[in-house]
Structure 1
Amino acid sequence: LVDGESVDHHGNNVHSKVFDTKGKYSWIKAPRYEGNPMQVGPLANIVVNYAKGNPNVVPVVDEFLKETGLPLNAVFSTLGRTAARCIEAKIVANNALKAFNNLVENLKVDQSTCAPYVIDNSKEYKGRYMGHVPRGTLSHWCRIKNGVIENWQAVVPSTWNASPKDANGIGGSYEQCLIGLKIADVKQPLEIIRKIHSYDPCIACAVHVMDAKGNNLSEYKVNVNL
């Protein structure tokens, strides 16, 4: 790690340690919120809204817990992440017509699809977006200089969940959820797959699997004709 600069969750430039690209590196960034790793996604979204008493969320969660006979703390698990994705879909469906009607009403007074803008090549622009998408929290930062994009930074949901150990040795959500997991057959680590799949990962460009000695564990072929 070397000295560098980053942007905190308030949008301020702060001193940070960044990876030395000439040395070893991880395949995924390690974003932190006030120094802590975060799990994002449907489970986090549902739990936070349930704790806040969101009237659109509480009845659906209570119905799920009643029908399954599970206690609330059971959702902090592989089952909970999978169930939360279904619960979130149910909540979205329940409110889809309301959202559609709101859109129709908005179109009656404003049919523009975006805010008009003009780029002055003599100026520098900075912008950011933070929002929620199906996999979790999505953030983008953009800097425009001399009329072109000078830098673009994206922290996607899987960046949070799949983040590796940071400079303080604290692992991300994937890593922490696997600690202590018992594997019945190391050549077929289905337990690992089941846990990680519950996050709905999107890290196709960052997947590498090997053991501590660098040996290949298995080879897999996909039949594209199926």
Structure 2
Amino acid sequence: MDISNLRQEYTLKGLSREELEGDPFKQFELWFQQACAANLPDPNAMSLATVSPTYSPSQRMVLLKYFDHQGLVFFTNYESTKALQIEANPQVSLLFFWKALERQLQISGTAAKISTAESLKYFATRPRGSQIGAWCSQQSSVISSRKMLELKFDEVKRKFHNQEIPIPSAWGGYRVVPARFEFWQGRANRLHDRFLYSRSDAKSSWDIQRLAP
């Protein structure tokens, strides 16, 4: 199978320094709003990259659930592979890819657990089926069959019949506190527009630099 000729020219628009917000969180919010307005499927889907204690990287898609100037929050099982890797090394990377807008956004920073109270507040908004599902899966562990998972779901469903479902102790959120944002806009001839926001610990303002494509 020859895939060497699979390519697409990016000609939708450009990105200039003058149109960028000085605050990367505001620039992110603008791009995120535009991704939502374009009715893209799962505009909050992002690739989360973590590294194991033996320096083996891994990635998976997670869903951004909310964000503010404190960081970006997603939820998971605290006994999953990603959670164990974050425990060993909190340095992570996030990547959004909005293909229809010819845009990528990479965010690097540190991840830390949010409070139980904050996790509970979000857990209460989840559909009941998703709440039950959080009790059923020892995420990333080996299971014998899907049937075992479905039986566990039915068991938990019966256990909490006509009851409010409590949050599992091994489930909750992480907040990624960014240190770097890179906004990428596709351009023709692979001469893409890339802008990096970064700052040192001693500075409150963000430096903005154009990167070669």
Please state which band the TM-score falls in when normalised by the shorter chain. under 0.3
Q: Which has the higher strand share?
A: 2
Give the alignment's TM-score, normalised by structure 1: 0.21
Task: Give the greater-gyration-radius structure (CA).
Answer: 1
Task: Tell me: higher relative CO, structure 1 or 2? Use CA pairs within 8 A at least 6 residues apart.
Answer: 2
